[in-house]
Amino acid sequence: MSVQRTPTEVLQFVKDSDARMLDLRFADLPGLWQHVSYPIGMLTQDSFEEGFGFDGSSIRGWQAISESDMLIMPDPNTIFMDPFTDAPTLVIICNVVDPLTKQHYERDPRWIAQKAEKYLAMTGIGDTAYFGAEAEFFIFDNVRFDQRQNFGFYYIDAEEGRWNSGRADNNLGYRPRYKEGYFPVPPTDHHMNIRTEMVDIMMHCGIEVECHHHEVATGGQCEIDQKYDTLLKSADNMMLYKNIVRNVAFEHGRTATFMPKPLWDDNGSGMHTHQSIWKDGDPLFAGDQYAGLSETAIHYIGGLLKHSAALAAICAPTTNSYKRLVPGFEAPVNLAYSRRNRSAACRIPMYSAKPQSKRVELRYPDPSCNPYLAFSAMLMAGLDGVQNKIDPGEPLDHDIYDLSPDELRHVPALPSSLEGALDALEKDHEFLTRNDVFTEELIQSYIEYKRTAEVDAIRQRPHPYEFSLYYDI
């Protein structure tokens, strides 16, 4: 769980670790870490109050060049030694502030997560929101892609991919079948040792890990489960988690991706997100209602489901996300809740009856999201449900494939595209703007960025499969 440190303790940590470099990190709007490095002597007691200047004009989703000067402020509670640099390097995660007013920058994703936590406390509903995200990813051996005026393609290969079963040279077999990659032992699971190395480094950097395993798809789909933590800490940990996964794979001559759907006709990568609210050390989601939940938890689910179409624009935020979110393959597109049905958007895990284990699992988020924005948006939707006592309706405990077409028509579903999700967010975002957790300006800028840089960019380019469909028409 979170460790509180003072600037003095950080400076002592620098001495004890013989750090030579300082690496300051912050997140851009889409959710990638950015960084700048300094000789360690540049870090002083005053640094935590004065910050470090940088030019924010080239950061994705941020501001105009005329307002480019920004400060990054180190958070002393986020330090760790970079496990991948040759020189001993201290990493500190930062917030972004305006250099003139010293006010937090409203497009800083980390600040939005901090505001969401403050809002929870202000409501009096609870004082702590816990989040635990299960991010899946692929490890490939080779990836090629390009797009020009006269061609566009991608090509992925993985030694573990079932498509290599017929290869003539150096073929030892042992590859997961399509959609049968869940839990095989080595040698069918090719990445046991790489995942273990990832876990070792995560734990060394302060992330508590519960388990790791192969996932359903062939071609190197993996999952490493972190222990839940507070909203902000879990978002910080997810950024570090993804950084470690990418770097360990890279050091082994492989490449890791958190794209939701890199392979056609096999399972995609999700980020099932477990969440609960506590107050004064007591879990508020345990009770005597459906699946052992409390009324608070039921209403929280009501908020998640009511706002899911809008949430999808933040929690499943890429055009590629909606190639995963299609009916079938247990895709969690149905806006319902269940303790059994994994095609429902909300699931209530039943592994333990302990009150502290009661939680809600939202299943449609994927790891392409910005965790600061996604966790904050989920919390705001759930709190809206609690505040307004939103009824989520009856649970969906039937097998979705056994429902008649008429029954299925009465189960609402997620938007089928990023464009549809952005339209929903534009219409439904008042719940996000309470207490300025998400500002109106931030939401409109986010929608405009996603439409221009992603939706329109994809719509304007021919797709390779269109040539198979239409070249001879």
Phi, psi of 252 (to 5 degrees): -95, 10
Annotated active-site residue in 28, 82, 236, 361: 361
Phi, psi of 300 (to 5 degrees): -60, -45
Annotated active-site residue in 363, 366, 419, 454: 363
Rounded CA separation 467/462 (Å): 8
Q: Is 251 a residue of the active site?
A: no
Annotated active-site residue in 134, 266, 384, 419: 134
Annotated active-site residue in 82, 136, 225, 266: 136
Q: Is 295 a residue of the active site?
A: no
Q: Is 197 a residue of the active site?
A: no
Q: Is 361 a residue of the active site?
A: yes
Radius of gyration over every alpha carbon of the chain, rounded to an integer in angstroms: 23
Q: Is 160 a residue of the active site?
A: no
In this structure, what DSSP letter does residue 307 have?
T
Q: Is 215 a residue of the active site?
A: yes
In this structure, what DSSP letter does residue 402 have?
G
Annotated active-site residue in 18, 50, 55, 394: 55
Q: Is 272 a residue of the active site?
A: yes
Annotated active-site residue in 215, 236, 266, 419: 215
- Tokens representing 3 are 């460790």
Long-range contacts of 204-211 (CB under 8 A, 24+ apart): 204/83, 205/80, 205/81, 205/83, 205/240, 205/244, 206/3, 206/80, 207/237, 207/240, 207/241
Rounded CA separation 87/82 (Å): 9
The secondary structure of 39-79 as a DSSP string is: EGGG--TTHHHH-EEEE-TTSTT---GGG-EEEEEE-GGG-
Annotated active-site residue in 28, 106, 159, 223: 223
HEC secondary structure over 169-226: CCCCCCCCCCCCCCCCCCCCCCCHHHHHHHHHHHHHCCCCEEEEEECCCCCCEEEEEE
The residue whose two tokens read 């597109």 is 333
Rounded CA separation 440/319 (Å): 23
Annotated active-site residue in 175, 254, 272, 347: 272
**Which positions are annotated as active-site residues?**
55, 134, 136, 215, 223, 272, 342, 361, 363
